[in-house]
Amino acid sequence: QIQYATQSGLTAGATGIRGLVAGHTHHFTFGENIGAPDCQIPETGVRWWASRQPVCMDQWPVTSLPSTEGACFTTIMNWTAARRLEYDGQYWGQKDVEFLRLIDLPRSTTQKLSVAVGQTTGEPFPLGAARDAGWLVLDPNQSVGDWMSYRKFIQSSAGEFSVAKETYVKARTGWFSCRSACYLASGRPVVTQDTGWTHQIPSGSGLFGFSTGAEAIAALDEIASNPARHAESARAIAEEFFDARRVLGDLLSKVTTG
């Protein structure tokens, strides 16, 4: 995973991030863009090998698309998973920052958008403003309380629309969500913020990266214009890039040959 830590979380002996990293011989990251010219993650002296979120494909079978009338693009998120970090004269935040930037998106598209959002730390989720803008806001404890309801929620969706954490976006990490990979495996197209992952995974059919609201709206409308084609493309992307047999085979190969 990609995390940031400060003070004791970084230096607390064997239990700090530095200690945990030092205790391993090979280091893998879901930040596939680390080391690229546009990536702002600082060098640490650690050699990072890129990997991806592995998905057990037979646990995420393709299911029939929902009816067009009831189709809704969904996502599941924490509002804030940690306090924002100040580094190099900038603030590095969580999903709340990016969601607020796009909170009015439902006003500009005919596609239905829904979010199951949990509250952890920081300022509360702006429930009233989100509903006024057109979001269907759900309680994740009721919608995705266990693995079965989590899978059903994803497979009942028209696709996913999701922001990423501000830190992942600003730093151009190349991070891609395991949740989004499960949408793809289920044959559900995904529209998600480009964190740099488009350098490694194709965007434009079944999976769309965006940086602006206009790009997100165009992607949603494109999926709605031909849902069956984009559903097929979504599954194909999952099979090529996220199948656990490929991902873990590649990881083990790097361990044995690196």
The residue extents of the domains of the chain are 57-241
pLDDT tens, position by position, 196-207: 999 999 999 999
Binning pLDDT at 50, 70 and 90, where does residue 42 land? confident
β-bridge partners, 62: none
- pLDDT for the residue numbered 15: 62
The Cα–Cα gap between 223 and 100 comes to 24
User: Is-contact 195 173, C-beta < 8 A?
Assistant: yes
Per the model's pLDDT, the better-predicted residue between 47 and 215 turns out to be 215
Residue-wise DSSP of the chain: ------THHHHSGGGSHHHHHHT-S-EEES-TTTTSTT--PPP-SPPEEE----B-GGGS---PPPPTTT--EE-EEES-SS--EEETTEEE--HHHHHHHTTTGGGG-SS-BEEEEE--SSSPP-HHHHHHHT-EEE-HHHHSSSHHHHHHHHHTSSEEEE---HHHHHTT-----HHHHHHHHTT--EEEE-SSGGGTS--SSSEEEESSHHHHHHHHHHHHHSHHHHHHHHHHHHHHHTBHHHHHHHHHHHHHH-
- pLDDT for the residue numbered 84: 82
- pLDDT for the residue numbered 22: 81
Average pLDDT of the residues of the chain:
92
- pLDDT for the residue numbered 7: 59
pLDDT of 120 strictly over 80: no
The Cα–Cα gap between 27 and 48 comes to 5
The Cα-based distances of 222 to 63, 69, 189 in angstroms read: 20, 16, 11
pLDDT tens, position by position, 180-223: 999 999 999 999 999 999 999 999 999 999 999 999 999 999 99
pLDDT tens, position by position, 133-179: 999 999 999 999 999 999 999 999 999 999 999 999 999 999 999 99
- pLDDT for the residue numbered 105: 98
- pLDDT for the residue numbered 14: 59
Q: Which fold has domain 57-241?
A: Rossmann fold (3.40.50)
pLDDT of 80 strictly over 70: yes
